[in-house]
């Protein structure tokens, strides 16, 4: 009896179905891994206090909260590894790998975003939109009054320039120096550098790369709503440590000069 061969058309159809199925599975995994759907927890379900029992943990740093809200790091803000955070910083904000490595270098092998709310670890006084620690408030909570004050410093084009940001940073420091106990002793030169570098990174990552300014809409979305702006475009080239340090220095110099000279926003 002659052996029947397998119909080539049947092989082709089965192969096509297998390929399509594998492709669908791959797309599903990729979409899940890269999902940018925003969810921001509210009320009692979220806290920025260390060792809290809330379902979601958040930090005093809006950039990290944005990553959690969009799912680029664990959405609950717990059991985060420096490697996961580093990858997210590069992927979402287009930070240079060496800068991302530097930013996560002091973090433990696993941490919660709420761990960063410990006073003078990542949290610090004279923040742009957060209360000082001595007030006793949740370190991850945004002070809307401070945010509104900052956003009101825009120029006629509805942008916050580096001059406006630097001057406001200096005002926040002066306010904390006058009202926060032990501010002068605890707000060291290193913490001051950190606070100015945070403003620098925001300008470089979320702002207009060519003018080193940030639109009021983008600043509000990032600092207050803690989400990625709908029309966000990454920096055209990776943001480096040298760029960040250079802009940090500029902001500090402008802040000092703002005590003597009045700058237009």
Return the H-helix or E-strand segment holding 221.
Answer: helix 216-223
Is 107 within the bounds of a domain? yes
Is 205 within the bounds of a domain? yes
CA distance 52 to 4: 70
Is 50 within the bounds of a domain? yes
Tens place of pLDDT per residue across the chain (265 aa) = 444 554 544 444 444 444 344 444 333 323 333 347 999 999 999 999 999 999 999 999 999 999 999 999 999 999 999 999 999 999 999 999 999 999 999 999 999 999 999 999 999 999 999 999 999 999 999 999 999 999 999 999 999 999 999 999 999 999 999 999 999 999 999 999 999 999 999 999 999 988 899 999 999 999 999 999 999 999 999 999 999 999 999 999 999 998 777 766 6
Structurally, the chain folds into a number of domains equal to 1
Return the H-helix or E-strand segment holding 47.
Answer: strand 46-47
Is 263 within the bounds of a domain? no
Structural domain span for residue 190: 40-130+139-258
pLDDT tens digits for range 162-221: 999 999 999 999 999 999 999 999 999 999 999 999 999 999 999 998 889 999 999 999
Per-residue model confidence (pLDDT) at position 171: 96
Is 65 within the bounds of a domain? yes
Is 114 within the bounds of a domain? yes
CATH of the domain at 66: 1.10.489.10
CA distance 114 to 124: 14
Sign of the dihedral defined by the CA atoms of residues 57, 61, 65, 68, in that order: negative
Q: What is the pTM of this model?
A: 0.84
Is 250 within the bounds of a domain? yes
CA distance 69 to 84: 15
Query: Which DSSP string do the residues of 81-139 spell out, in sequence order?
Result: -HHHHHHHHHHHH-B-HHHHHHHHTTS-SSB-GGGGGSBTTTB-SS-SSS--GGG---T
Is 81 within the bounds of a domain? yes
Query: Which DSSP string do the residues of 183-214 spell out, in sequence order?
Result: HHHHS-HHHHHHHHHHHHHHHHHHSBTTTTEE
């Amino acid at each position: 009896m002659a052996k029947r061969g397998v119909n080539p058309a049947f092989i082709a159809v089965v192969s096509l179905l297998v390929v399509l199925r594998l492709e669908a599975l791959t797309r599903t995994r990729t979409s899940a891994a890269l999902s940018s759907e925003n969810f921001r927890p509210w009320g009692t379900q979220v806290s920025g206090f260390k060792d809290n029992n809330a379902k979601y943990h958040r930090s005093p740093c809006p950039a990290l909260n944005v990553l959690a809200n969009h799912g680029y790091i664990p959405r609950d803000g717990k059991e985060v590894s420096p490697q996961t955070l580093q990858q997210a910083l590069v992927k979402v904000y287009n930070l240079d790998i060496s800068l991302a490595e530097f930013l996560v270098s002091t973090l433990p092998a696993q941490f919660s975003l709420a761990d960063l709310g410990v006073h003078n670890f990542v949290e610090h006084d004279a923040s742009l939109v957060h209360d000082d620690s001595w007030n006793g408030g949740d370190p991850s909570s945004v002070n809307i009054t401070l945010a509104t004050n900052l956003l009101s410093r825009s120029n006629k084009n509805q942008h916050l320039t580096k001059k406006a940001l630097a001057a406001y940073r200096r005002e926040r420091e002066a306010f904390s120096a006058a009202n926060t106990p032990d501010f002068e002793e605890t707000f060291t030169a290193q913490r001051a550098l950190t606070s100015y570098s945070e403003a620098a990174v925001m300008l470089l990552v979320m702002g207009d790369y060519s003018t080193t300014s940030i639109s009021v809409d983008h600043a509000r979305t990032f600092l207050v709503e803690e989400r990625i702006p709908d029309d966000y475009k990454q920096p055209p080239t990776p943001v480096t440590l040298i760029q960040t340090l250079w802009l940090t220095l500029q902001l500090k110099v402008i802040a000092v000069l703002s005590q003597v000279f009045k700058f237009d926003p």
